[in-house]
Amino acid sequence: MKLLFDNAAQLVTAAGPARARRGDELRALEVLTGAALIVDDGRIAAVGPREAMRAAAPDAAVVDCGGRVLMPGLVDSHTHGIFGKPRHEEQELRAAGVGYMEIAKRGGGIHSSVRDLRARSEDELLALALPRLRRLMAHGTTTLEVKSGYGLTLDDELKSLRVIRRLQQALPIRLVPTFLGAHEIPLEYRAAPRTREEYIALIVEEMLPRVAAEGLATFADIFCEPGVYTPDEARVILGAARRHGLQLKLHADELETAGAAELAAEIGATSADHLAAVSDAGIKALGTAGTVATLLPGTMLFLGRPRQAPARALIDAGAAVALASDFNPGTSPTVNFPLVLTLAVSQLRLSVSEAILAATVNGAAAVALAAETGQLAPGFSADLALFDIGDIRELPYWYGDHRCHASWVRGRPAFGPGA
Ligand code: NIG
Ligand code: FE
């Protein structure tokens, strides 16, 4: 079936190479006026002047964009969407001066979500995740990476990944599953008789083979941070993940410098995420590596941390910068990706062009989907978001608002009228 998307105030195509953009490319966001777009069988068939598009597809069903802004659906390449209860009590503790890592040392933080998730069934987790992912979709996200990582036993990690698989069947959004068994060292492996080495062996010898054999994940991730996993441990775990055919991601230099960005670049990880504490050497390494530098400014905002990732230095060094929500119960419980764009412009000092490309094309590159989604050009999947604004610069401007009118994934309504 053919669709003609007509009457948009602006058509933001983000068209260009089907790979992460860097440097000057990040300043060159293509925005068309007086343009329309043809979708054929779930793919973008043509983009061009309205008259020409109408003539080319006279029998297409018309989608009236109503003078709004049509753009590629947002690609949120970093979330921890499978969890049970919210962790609002930690927000007050932090306000009272107890740091994120201190809360973890007291058995809270990730450990608290782990205790909670282990006690819940797969059906229960699915029921909790469905409305949360619908809220993420309602803000214009059409591709969403979702991590496990609150199970930390073989069965509980498999349970989390199976929830992601069921969400993929239940929702029109495009999901990318990531295995994050190395999110923490579980409390039961921190004191005799069990050791952290035994937990790492469990990941390498039991979890990864099962996850790979059941095809439950595309990526493996690790929290490489002082007090959690060391770079040497990350090397072992990610090396094993790669041997099982998984692509690699790292939570890198999130709170303290650990050399994790350098490691990500060296091993050819698809992305290195967070980077609020990245070193100069790490910036340099990401400047020339194929690894996408994914920034999560909502996390630093919510944690009340004084320092955001050095986005300008990363871009100046040549890094391919992406943006993501980090949606999770501990450090970033927001479903509002456009709000992350606001933070990118006002806190990370990105231009609107850089922020939009970071949340579309480069987000897609961060989940190895840059040839499939993230831009509106012939051949790409018709993953679209329609925002109730008249100029793309309004997207980061109306901060915290809800401006998404509708979205489509593979040419099918995902959110809004018709979905
Ligand atoms: O990206 N840092 C590790 N993982 C998450 C937080 C997880 C949690 O606190 O539950 C993050 O910030
Ligand atoms: Fe995270």
pLDDT (tens digit per residue) in 151-169: 999 999 999 999 999 999 9
Asked if residue 265 is part of any domain, the answer here is: yes
Task: Kindly state the tokens that stand for 331.
Answer: 């450090």
pLDDT of residue 155: 98
The CA radius of gyration of the chain, in Å to the nearest whole number, is 21
- Ligand 1 contacts CB of residue 147 (under 6 A): no
DSSP annotation of 328: B
The answer for residues whose C-beta is within 8 angstroms of residue 215's C-beta and 6 or more apart is none
Distance (Å) from CA 413 to ligand 1 centroid:
32
Ligand (nearest to CA of 255): 1
Contact 144, 173 (CB under 8 A): yes
Q: Token match 């007050």: residue?
A: 92
E strands, 163-316, where?
174-182, 219-224, 247-252, 271-274, 292-295
Q: Point out the ligand 1 atom lying closest to the alpha carbon of residue 326.
A: 1
Task: Kindly state the tokens that stand for 395.
Answer: 């997207």
pLDDT of residue 306: 92
Mark whether 30 and 132 lie in a shared domain. no
Mark whether 168 and 270 lie in a shared domain. yes
Mark whether 11 and 99 lie in a shared domain. no
The answer for residues whose C-beta is within 8 angstroms of residue 158's C-beta and 6 or more apart is 151, 210, 211, 214, 216
Give the pairing of strands 320-323 and 271-274. Answer: unpaired
Q: What is the CATH number of the domain that holds 121?
A: 3.20.20.140
What is the rounded distance in angstroms from the CA atom of residue 151 to the CA atom of residue 143? 24
Mark whether 345 and 380 lie in a shared domain. no
pLDDT of residue 305: 95
Asked if residue 319 is part of any domain, the answer here is: yes
Distance (Å) from CA 326 to ligand 2 centroid:
5
Mark whether 384 and 344 lie in a shared domain. no
Asked if residue 180 is part of any domain, the answer here is: yes
Q: Phi first, then psi: what are they for 383, rounded to 5°?
A: -105, 105
Confirm whether pTM is higher than 0.85.
yes
Mark whether 153 and 301 lie in a shared domain. yes
DSSP annotation of 23: G
Asked if residue 232 is part of any domain, the answer here is: yes
Q: Token match 């969403």: residue?
A: 144
E strands, 237-373, where?
247-252, 271-274, 292-295, 320-323
Task: Kindly state the tokens that stand for 327.
Answer: 């949606």
- Total domains, the chain: 2
- Last residue of one domain, picked from the residues 342, 365, 388: 365
Contact 272, 265 (CB under 8 A): yes
- Ligand 1 contacts CB of residue 108 (under 6 A): no
- Ligand 1 contacts CB of residue 328 (under 6 A): yes
- Ligand 1 contacts CB of residue 110 (under 6 A): yes
Asked if residue 151 is part of any domain, the answer here is: yes
Mark whether 327 and 397 lie in a shared domain. no
Mark whether 228 and 327 lie in a shared domain. yes
pLDDT of residue 227: 95
Asked if residue 370 is part of any domain, the answer here is: no
pLDDT of residue 332: 98
Mark whether 111 and 196 lie in a shared domain. yes
Ligand (nearest to CA of 254): 1
All residue ranges of the chain with pLDDT < 70 are none
C-alpha atoms less than 13 angstroms from C-alpha of 81 in its C-beta half-sphere: 33
- Ligand 1 contacts CB of residue 302 (under 6 A): no
pLDDT of residue 32: 98
Asked if residue 221 is part of any domain, the answer here is: yes
Mark whether 87 and 116 lie in a shared domain. yes
Ligand (nearest to CA of 328): 1
Q: What is the CATH number of the domain that holds 403?
A: 2.30.40.10
- Ligand 1 contacts CB of residue 330 (under 6 A): yes
pLDDT of residue 240: 98
C-alpha atoms less than 13 angstroms from C-alpha of 166 in its C-beta half-sphere: 16
Distance (Å) from CA 327 to ligand 1 centroid:
9
Mark whether 268 and 354 lie in a shared domain. yes
Q: Phi first, then psi: what are they for 215, rounded to 5°?
A: 60, 40
Mark whether 190 and 311 lie in a shared domain. yes
Nearest CA to ligand 1 atom 11: 331
Distance (Å) from CA 326 to ligand 1 centroid:
8
E strands, 10-159, where?
10-12, 31-32, 35-40, 43-49, 61-64, 69-72, 74-76, 141-147
pLDDT of residue 68: 99
Ligand (nearest to CA of 149): 1
- Last residue of one domain, picked from the residues 365, 387, 404: 365
Q: Point out the ligand 1 atom lying closest to the alpha carbon of residue 109.
A: 9
Asked if residue 223 is part of any domain, the answer here is: yes
Containing structural domain, residue 66? 2-73+375-415
The answer for residues whose C-beta is within 8 angstroms of residue 364's C-beta and 6 or more apart is 75, 77, 143, 370, 372, 373, 374, 375
